[in-house]
Amino acid sequence: MRYEGVMKTDSGITVLGAGAWGTALANLYAECGRVTLWCFQQEQADKISTARENVDFLPGTSLHDNVVVTADAKSLAASKVILLVVPTQFVPDV
């Protein structure tokens, strides 16, 4: 089933990690509602949010309209599900 347009429903899912795999998962889950894509760095979040594409890690793939990009750790508090999609060597930094 594929949903078209922006859904008002919040899926409660946050993808922690905005690399290629995290961006792809956020796009996939965004088919069913709003998803938060959390970036470690504010500059990266701004770049992805403005371009609506993760040019550094997943170039050529548009970000779904239901994906909200942030670097604000407080956004994690409202999440029902957090997907940790960060390479092992970077987990201590997160």
Task: Judge whether 1 lies within some domain.
Answer: no
pLDDT in tens, the chain (94 residues): 455 555 557 889 999 999 999 999 999 999 989 999 999 999 999 999 999 999 999 999 999 999 999 999 998 998 999 999 998 887 777 6
pTM score, whole prediction: 0.86
Total of domains in the chain: 1
Task: Judge whether 73 lies within some domain.
Answer: yes
Task: Give the pLDDT of residue 11.
Answer: 84
Q: Which residue has the tokens 């508090």?
A: 77
Concatenating the DSSP letter of every residue in 13-80 gives EEEE--SHHHHHHHHHHGGGSEEEEE-SSHHHHHHHHHHTB-TTTSTT-BPPTTEEEE--GGGGGG-S
Task: Judge whether 27 lies within some domain.
Answer: yes
User: What CA–CA distance (Å, rounded) separates 22 from 28?
Assistant: 10
Mode of pairing for the β-strands spanning 81-84 and 67-70: unpaired
Task: Judge whether 14 lies within some domain.
Answer: yes
Task: Give the pLDDT of residue 9.
Answer: 78
